[in-house]
Amino acid sequence: MYQFDREEYNRRMEWYLEARFGMFIHWGLYSIPARGEWVRSTEEMGKEAYMKYFEEFDARDYDPISWARAAKEAGMKYVVLTAKHHDGFCLFDSQYTDFKSTNTRCGRDLVAEFVEAVRSEGLKVGLYFTLLDWYHEDYPHFEDKNHPMRNHPECGNEQRQFGRYVEYLHNQVREICTNYGKLDVLWFDFSYDDMRGEKWEATKLVDTVRTLQPGVIIDNRLEVSGEGRGSLAECRPSPFHGDFVSPEQMIPPEGIRDVEGNPLAWEACVTMNNNWGYHGTDHFFKPASMLIKKLVECVSKGGNLLLNVGPDAYGNFPPESTAILKEIGAWMKKNSGSIYGCGPADVPKPDFGRVTKKGNTYYFHMYENTIGPVPLLGLEKSRVKKIRALADGHEIPVSESWVHSDYPGLLFAELGPDPVLPDPVDYVLAVEMEE
């Protein structure tokens, strides 16, 4: 039976804490109605009405190589795909259901192609798997707060056997842990009300997962949802503890720590617009400049950013998402050293931006210029080994200007006479300190 081991945990988390940046992909039948991945629930859509999308789904433009390359070029290190979302539709060839991609016009095991493509680009592979299932007859319907038939008393639960559903859930998890090679992330979603922990027979489930995929990293949603921390944060890890905390659609005001004050691994999952799945009229996309700064914010607080793309009905990334990824990639190409393997810095947050740190190097992220030389608060002038502009490596001198003579104990950097920063989004100074 799986038991928490700190050394084993630290080993499996090494690549994840180094990576800092990943892609989430929500794709399925809900991309056809294009009103978000919860469309069946929000519109209380019956099964028959939803089945027309199953009949139509052909994934005609699905090219996971292009997805993986887009992630890699954006500077992402891992990609997580929705193998099954709440509607119960499987992108993989499950032997336990007919509600799967191989039975649509598409006729393909989309997960098999995905994992191969992601690995071919040198990225880590993640699969999302929901604990909910609005298609399965034994999952609670009436009065379950999320189910599409929650307000339909004729869909009562008297004849439903939840234990049979749990067996189905375990069988499918066993399939994805067996049939697709090494998985790096298994992203469960989500617990609510009394549907948590042992309701899913989570101890048994995780023991299966850890046996089949001993190095896989698991989120904390077998215990909680996007708003919870879980048992690892309580310093009493259950057998089904999450390896990281999963705040959703927000970045914690501070880094996340356990009850003893130790830093916890966490990952903010964030949409580019306002929906996870493709939405035909949601063009409210966050600009690349904002998302770059949010990535930096996550890293400066000890977290990862999992940035979502919702491909359209045919399997294409929305043009806005593609453009944003390219902009982020251009910045990462020059500045990824301030992201990969970095974390919080033991210096005050500057007025002009943020600071990340790796080893003895502090990365000062400048979102705006200062009047006069740049104060690098928290660093001793006598211990500075060198200051470089991260993007091109040119030397940034330590300032000796008279204008800051009233602050003899502070370190200032001299950027020169131009008030406009070379990078209008985030100009990074790499400050290497002596041991």
- Is residue 149 scored above 90 in pLDDT? yes
- Is residue 425 scored above 90 in pLDDT? yes
pLDDT of residue 177: 98
pLDDT of residue 31: 98
Cα distances from 253 to residues 257, 340, 409, 411, in angstroms, run: 12, 21, 30, 27
Tokens standing for 210? 């850890």
pLDDT of residue 205: 98
Residue intervals of the chain classified under CATH 2.60.40 are 345-433
Q: Are 139 and 145 in contact (CB under 8 A)?
A: no
* pTM, rounded to two decimals: 0.98
Q: How much of the chain is in helix, strand and coil states, percent to nearest 5?
A: 30, 20, 50
Distance CA 221, CA 197 (A): 9
- Is residue 289 scored above 90 in pLDDT? yes
Return the amino acid letter for 237: P
CATH of domain 345-433: 2.60.40
Q: Which residues lie across from 77 on neighbouring strands?
A: none
Residue intervals of the chain classified under CATH 3.20.20.80 are 6-341
pLDDT of residue 199: 98
Tokens 């799986």 belong to residue: 2
Q: Are 30 and 37 in contact (CB under 8 A)?
A: yes
Distance CA 95, CA 92 (A): 9
Tokens 């919870």 belong to residue: 228
**Residues contacting 181, CB < 8 A, separation 6+:** 115, 119, 125
402 backbone φψ class: left, alpha, beta (φ>0; ψ -120 to 50)? alpha
Q: What percent of the chain has pLDDT over 90?
A: 99
* 75-114 tens-digit pLDDT: 999 999 999 999 999 999 999 999 999 999 999 999 999 9
Strands 78-84 and 343-344: unpaired
Average pLDDT over every residue of 19-43? 98
Task: Report residue 15: phi and psi, to 5°.
Answer: -65, -35
- The mean pLDDT of the chain is 98
pLDDT of residue 1: 84
Q: What angle do CA 197, 200, 202 make, to 5 degrees?
A: 60
- Helix axis angle for 202-212 and 162-178, nearest 10°, is 10
Rg (CA), the chain: 24
Cα distances from 157 to residues 92, 137, 142, 170, in angstroms, run: 28, 9, 7, 21
Q: How confident is the model at residue 253 (pLDDT cuts 50, 70, 90)?
A: very high
| Burial 78-101, CB ≥16 within 10 A → b, else e | bbbbbbbbbbbbbbbbbeebebbb
* 366-390 tens-digit pLDDT: 999 999 999 999 999 999 999 999 9
Q: How confident is the model at residue 341 (pLDDT cuts 50, 70, 90)?
A: very high
Cα distances from 37 to residues 29, 40, 59, 62, 114, in angstroms, run: 8, 8, 16, 18, 20
- Helix axis angle for 288-300 and 319-335, nearest 10°, is 50
pLDDT of residue 420: 98
Average pLDDT over every residue of 153-162? 97
Average pLDDT over every residue of 291-307? 99
Average pLDDT over every residue of 289-300? 99
Q: Does domain 6-341 have CATH number 3.20.20.80?
A: yes
How many Cα atoms sit within 13 Å of 278 on the Cβ side?
19
**Residues contacting 125, CB < 8 A, separation 6+:** 78, 79, 114, 115, 118, 119, 180, 181, 182, 183, 184, 185
Distance CA 304, CA 185 (A): 13
pLDDT of residue 96: 98
Q: How confident is the model at residue 278 (pLDDT cuts 50, 70, 90)?
A: very high
Tokens 């994805």 belong to residue: 176
